[in-house]
Amino acid sequence: MRQVNLAVVGAGVIGKRHIREIANSDQCRLAAIVDPSTEAAACAASFGVPLRRDYRELLEEDRIDDGRRVHAKWHACRDR
């Protein structure tokens, strides 16, 4: 089964939970984190994924599956 490529926009409290869940999933792949903060840079480095400062960079540089529905896709991966 092909993994779903997901990005997390915002690496705050909730975003970090999404990041951990996606990174630990066999069915999803954490492709990038989008957040302008320096704390997010450390988070992205710890998961070995690119950090994008703006969502437009994400759309230009990364392959994300259906980024408009990231939240719904994450729940679908988690619940499988």
pLDDT in tens, 56-70: 888 887 778 755 445
pTM of the model: 0.79
Please give the pLDDT value at position 3. Answer: 87
Q: Encoding tokens for residue 10?
A: 């915002």
Fill in the DSSP letter of residue 27: S
Using one digit for the tens of pLDDT, what is the confidence trace for 11-56? 988 899 999 999 999 998 999 999 999 999 999 999 999 999 988 8
Q: 56-65 contacts: CB < 8 A, separation 24 or more?
A: 58/7, 58/9, 58/32, 58/34, 62/5, 62/7, 62/31, 62/32, 63/5, 63/31, 64/5, 64/6, 64/7, 64/31, 64/32, 65/4, 65/5, 65/6
Superfamily per CATH, domain 4-79? NAD(P)-binding Rossmann-like Domain (3.40.50.720)
73 vs 19, which has greater pLDDT? 19
Domain boundaries, the chain: 4-79
